[in-house]
Amino acid sequence: MATTSTLSTPDLLEQVRLAGSPPKHVAIIMDGNGRWARERLMPRPFGHRSGMKAVREVVHGAIEAGLQHLSLFAFSQENWQRPTTEVSALMSLLEEYIAREVAELSERGVRVRILGERDRLTDGARKAVEMVERTTAHNDTLTLNIFISYGSRTELVRATQSLARDVAQGIMSPDDIDEDAISGRLMTAGMPDPDLLIRTSGEQRVSNFLLWQLAYTEFYISGVLWPDFGRRDLFTAILDYKRRERRYGKVSV
Active site annotation includes 31: yes
**Gap between the Cα atoms of 109 and 38, Å rounded:** 36
Residue 35 interacting entry, from Mg ion, ligand IPE, none, C-beta within 5 to 8 Å by type: ligand IPE
Please pick, among 79, 139, 193, 240, the residue that the annotation labels catalytic. 79
**Gap between the Cα atoms of 126 and 119, Å rounded:** 8
Residue 250 host element (H or E): none
Q: Which of 16, 23, 25, 31 binds ligand IPE (CB under 6 A)?
A: 31
**162 contributes a contact to ligand IPE by CB under 6 A:** no
Over the window 5 to 44, marking each residue x when it contacts Mg ion by CB under 5 A and - when it does not, the resulting string is: --------------------------x-------------
**Gap between the Cα atoms of 156 and 94, Å rounded:** 25
35, 41, 44, 45: CA torsion to nearest 10: -130
- Closest contact distance (angstroms) between CB of 30 and Mg ion is 9
Who contacts 180 (Cβ-Cβ below 8 Å, separation ≥6)? none
Looking at beta carbons only, is 226 or 235 nearer to Mg ion?
226
**207 contributes a contact to ligand IPE by CB under 6 A:** yes
Active site annotation includes 145: no
What is the separation, in whole angstroms, between the first and last Cα of the chain? 27
Size of the site for Mg ion (CB under 5 A): 1
3-state secondary structure of 171: coil
Q: Could you list the residues that contact ligand IPE (CB under 6 A)?
A: 29-35, 73-76, 79, 90, 201, 203, 205, 207, 226
Q: Please list the active-site residues.
A: 31, 79
